[in-house]
Structure formats: C-alpha cells, structure tokens
C-alpha cells in the first residue's frame, strides 16, 4: 500500500513515494501528483527540463497491499519513456 489516506489526502504520500523512486533513477526528474475524483485515479506528472509525461495510477493500485512493486515498475518504465521523448 503506497498511501494510508484516501483521495486528495493521499496525493502527498504518493508524491513522496514517487519522488523517492524517481531520484534513485534520475536526480533531475520531479514528480507531482494530483487526485482526480471523477475517475478515482492519481495523475502523476513527470518532468525533466522541458520534457513532461503524464500518466495515471488507479486507486486500487495505490491502496491495495502487495501492488507496490507493480507501481514501482510502472513508474520506472514511465521515467524511461520520459528520457525517450523527442
């Protein structure tokens, strides 16, 4: 489980986790997280310089125990996608 809180209250926890993971891969990548209540997803914004990549994690990915590794792999893959943006 990436966050104890639900909804908007969980966004800072998810952001802290995502930034820890991102910094292990690339010190220049920053991650901002917002919660979208309409779709019950967390919107992650990866940025490195002028490059930006947006993607979502579902509430179940964030709040179900045992899915942390899946979320980490997804984030790592998205950081690599960010590197490859032209």
Measure the CA–CA gap between 62 and 2, rounded to whole angstroms: 5
Count Cα neighbours of 86 within 13 Å in the Cβ-side half-sphere: 0
Please state whether the predicted TM-score (pTM) of the whole model is above 0.75: yes
3-state secondary structure of 55: strand
Q: How confident is the model at residue 74 (pLDDT cuts 50, 70, 90)?
A: very high
Q: Over the stretch 52-68, which tens digit does the pLDDT of each residue have?
A: 999 999 999 999 999 99
pLDDT of residue 86: 61
85 pLDDT exceeds 90? no
pLDDT of residue 1: 87
Q: Over the stretch 25-56, which tens digit does the pLDDT of each residue have?
A: 999 999 999 999 999 999 999 999 999 999 99
């Amino acid at each position: 489980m990436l966050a104890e809180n639900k909804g908007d209250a969980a966004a800072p926890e998810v952001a802290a986790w995502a930034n820890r993971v991102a910094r292990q891969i690339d010190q220049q990548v920053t991650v901002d997280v917002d919660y979208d209540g309409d779709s019950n997803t967390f919107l992650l914004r990866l940025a490195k310089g002028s490059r930006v990549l947006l993607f979502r994690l579902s509430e179940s990915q964030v709040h179900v125990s045992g899915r942390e590794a899946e979320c980490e792999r997804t984030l790592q893959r998205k950081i690599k996608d960010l590197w490859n943006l032209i």
